[in-house]
A = this chain, B = another copy of it.
Amino acid sequence: MATLGLIEYPDASPEVRAVYDDIMATRRVDRVNNFWKALAHDPVTLRRTWESIKQVMAPGALDALTKELVYLAVSASNQCTYCIASHTAAARKAGMTDAMLAELMAVVGMANETNRLASGYQVEIDDRFKTA
């Protein structure tokens, strides 16, 4: 279980409940993930992290699905077991199909492969890729 345990809604302080309420309202769900319940031991970090996520994941120049795909891609690349599980669910809710998941992982895999080929061969940056 989480190091400090999980804080459930009935046991939460008013400031933690306020964040939980905003998460559920924003995402239109009736419960919050364990991630938030674990962070709730530190209400300041809970609020900051949630406010940041809310801001960053809102549709803008990139739509919500694309952002969820990128989030899952990074989590898979980083081998974060919890995040892969939770963001697979989130991406699906945002519209990711099985076919999209498969193509996403194919890209993540190739990027991780060529990242190492580039570094392993010590390839120098092409002059035209250098910003000036």
Contacts and interface: CB of A to CB of B under 8 A. Distances in A.
Interface in A85-115: 85-86, 88-89, 97-115
A64 to B, nearest CB: 11
Copies in the complex: 6
A78 interface: yes
Contacts of A108: 70, 74, 116-117, 120
Size category of the A interface is: 35 or more
B44 A48 contact: no
A2 B117 CA distance: 11
Contacts of A81: 79, 81, 119, 122, 125
A80 interface: yes
Interface stretch (A8-16, A20-28, A51-59): A51-59
9 contacts: A3-B101, A38-B118, A45-B102, A67-B103, A72-B120, A74-B112, A77-B116, A79-B81, A85-B125
B70 A107 contact: yes
A131 B4 CA distance: 8
A122 B3 contact: yes
